[in-house]
């Protein structure tokens, strides 16, 4: 997928005000509207202009997009969103796949999902927009549950039409067993309503921070476990770390490298709880002395084996 420079599409500098963005959009939309334009690529350009405006007219989306430009992405450059690029930004609308987004490019949807859903009209006014943000938490917090203070970046437009970021701190209760991609709803913490209508809600989508030991897959946890050749060959009981504390694991005799063993119920809490899967990695110590080399040579003579036989060599 190619990176899109939305400022270039609208013919604007990055310092453009919100009013200038609106004015450029209206001018270009009239120029390329398929019903009136004589340009050969009018329909394509009309869609590009609309997409650029959708990204830049919203202060939150624009602020997050500007952060990508600071990473020096260029128009047409091969692009994949950096992991967690939007973590901590509070967006109006959502990250979902609503039908309103179907005309947007893959690039836009990889960043923002849908273009955002406006607040619903009520008899007392217009309900505030729902806001969405992605936050990163540690696996330990996902296991035990926690209350954390998070700081989101909310964009605001000043009197000159320029966008500035405002930190927005909230206390959030993280339930035990929350999985990556799950959303936490904070009622009334979204955009303000108009008239007597209530505010929208804030939805926090959970991302996991990288962990030095574990990888999560839903409620299941995966861990690579180094063992010695003799523990794998003879069998042993070895300590294994889990998110709930260290437990003993029985290694069956004859266990092979890459074999997977299960610790039932030792994953993230849930109904039912997840499991922890332990992947065996046989660690062969170096022969650093002549005595150690001799022992390895004796083992090779006593137990000749060709581990590459299945490869035909």
100 falls within a domain: no
Structural domain count, the chain: 1
The burial class, CB within 10 Å (0-12 / 13-18 / 19+), for 46 is buried
CATH number of the CATH domain containing 244? 2.60.260.20
82-101 pLDDT, tens digit each: 766 666 666 665 544 333 44
Q: Which residues pair with 137 in a beta bridge?
A: 208
Query: Where are the extended beta strands (E) located within the chain?
Result: 90-92, 121-122, 125-126, 131-137, 146-157, 163-174, 183-186, 194-195, 202-208, 214-217, 220-227, 236-240, 247-251, 260-263, 276-282
d(CA 120, CA 307): 66
pLDDT average, residue stretch 158-166:
68
304 falls within a domain: yes
Share of the chain above pLDDT 70, in %: 86
107 falls within a domain: no
Q: Specify the pLDDT at position 1.
A: 82
292 falls within a domain: yes
Domain residue limits at 225:
214-311
pLDDT average, residue stretch 228-251:
97
């Amino acid at each position: 997928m190619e990176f899109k420079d939305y400022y270039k599409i609208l013919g604007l500098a990055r310092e453009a005000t919100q009013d200038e963005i609106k004015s450029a959009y209206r001018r270009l939309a009239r120029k390329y509207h398929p019903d009136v334009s004589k340009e050969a690529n009018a329909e394509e350009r009309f869609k590009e202009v609309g997409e650029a405006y959708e990204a830049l007219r919203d202060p939150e989306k624009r602020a997050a997009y500007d952060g990508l430009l600071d990473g020096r992405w260029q128009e047409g450059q091969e692009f994949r969103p950096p992991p967690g690029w939007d973590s901590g930004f509070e967006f109006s609308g959502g990250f979902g796949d609503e039908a309103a987004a179907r005309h947007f490019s893959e690039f836009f949807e990889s960043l923002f999902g849908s273009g955002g859903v406006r607040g619903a009209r009520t008899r007392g006014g217009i309900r505030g927009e729902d806001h969405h943000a992605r936050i990163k938490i540690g696996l330990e917090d996902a296991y035990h549950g926690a209350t954390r203070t998070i700081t989101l970046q909310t964009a605001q437009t000043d009197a000159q039409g320029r966008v500035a970021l405002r930190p927005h701190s909230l206390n959030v209760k993280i339930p035990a067993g929350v999985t990556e991609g799950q959303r936490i709803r904070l009622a009334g913490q979204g955009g303000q309503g108009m008239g007597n209508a209530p505010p929208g809600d804030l939805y926090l989508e959970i991302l996991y921070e990288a962990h030095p030991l574990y990888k999560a897959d839903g409620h299941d946890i995966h861990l690579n476990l180094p063992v010695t050749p003799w523990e794998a060959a003879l069998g042993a009981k070895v300590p294994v770390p889990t998110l709930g504390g260290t437990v003993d694991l029985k290694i069956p005799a004859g266990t092979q490298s890459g074999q997977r063993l299960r610790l039932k119920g030792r994953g993230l809490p849930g109904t039912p709880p997840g499991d922890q899967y332990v992947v065996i990695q046989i660690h062969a110590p170096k022969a650093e002395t002549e005595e150690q080399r001799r022992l390895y040579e004796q083992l090779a003579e006593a137990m000749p084996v060709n581990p590459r036989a299945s490869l035909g060599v």
